[in-house]
Structure 1
Amino acid sequence: MDNTEIIGFAAAILTTAAFLPQVYKTWRTKDVSSLSLPMLVIFFIGIVMWLWYGILKNSPSMIFANSITVISSFLLMYFKVKYTKK
């Protein structure tokens, strides 16, 4: 593993870890009032594209981070739909 991938993994861990508390808080409180569904959908599509890019570039750090973030952002979209009061 070269220095570039080490930096990539450090960035991947920090940015992915920063997103997880929001997923946990939303799951625990079921409060989705501050989440924007259009933003979540756009973010999800962007992360899927970053994952695809990481696969094409064969970048383990990008694949690792974006795989976890795809799951996390999907969960937030699911929570937004499930817990939105009708």
Structure 2
Amino acid sequence: MTTILPVDLVGYIAACLTTTAFVPQAWLTWRRKRAEGVSLCMYIILVLGITLWLVYGLMLSALPIIIANMITLMLAMFILVMKLVYK
């Protein structure tokens, strides 16, 4: 049985909170079929940053970073695509 170290627990909690923060925006954008309040430039930069965080997590084999950024990347990409579709 593997035990979770306190440092990893902090990482998992932070990952859950920051990833969950994208859910309301993704849900609202999808439900309303509008994205005029979403900054295209900001989401392009954000997606690039999240991609680099994911690569960083993979390089370190840091599971909290990998999981959080995979999910966050999917949510951010969804919002970015909705922004482009509902332009």
TM-score interval, normalised by the smaller of the two chains: over 0.9
Local SS of the residue matching 2:69 = helix
Query: Structure 2: any 5+ residue segments left out of the alignment?
Result: none
TM-score for the superposition, normalised by structure 2: 0.93
State the match for 1:73 in structure 2. 76
1:45 to 2:80 alignment: no
Counterparts of 1:53 and 1:29 in 2: how far apart (Å)? Answer: 34
Aligned length: 84
Q: Which has the higher helix share?
A: 1
Percent sequence identity is 37
Query: Which stretches of structure 1, 4 residues or more, deviate above 2 A after TM superposition?
Result: none
1:12 to 2:11 alignment: no
State the match for 2:31 in structure 1. 28
Deviation for aligned residue 1:29: 0.4
Deviation for aligned residue 1:31: 1.7
Which amino acid in structure 1 is aligned with residue 67 of structure 2? F
Deviation for aligned residue 1:26: 0.3
State the match for 1:57 in structure 2. 60
Residue deviations 1:17-58, cap 9 Å, x none? 111111011000012111111110000000000000011111
Query: Structure 1: any 5+ residue segments left out of the alignment?
Result: none
TM-score for the superposition, normalised by structure 1: 0.94
